[in-house]
Amino acid sequence: PAERLGTYPVGPADVDGTHPGDFDKLRAYSREQAVWAVRAAGVVQRNAIQRDTTASCLDALRARGIIR
């Protein structure tokens, strides 16, 4: 089975731009999004590799007449 993507980070709900810590919360959220994106790209790449490997294996078995 394909590897699943991790849960997308949830943004801070209490940010309205008027509190001193709002910028820090948004910056932390942005970092979480970047980390999620890198991990998601890895998942997509690994899933593609698995599909290609499976397809190549099945093609080889068909070429040898083992399966149709």
Please give the mean pLDDT across all residues of the chain.
95
3-class DSSP string for 49-63:
HHHHHHHHHHHHHHH
The rounded distance, in Å, linking the Cα atoms of 3 and 39 is 11
pTM (whole model) above 0.85:
no
pLDDT over 80 at 9, yes or no: yes
pLDDT digits (tens, 9 = 90+) for 46-61: 999 999 999 999 999 9
pLDDT over 90 at 17, yes or no: no
pLDDT at site 1: 75
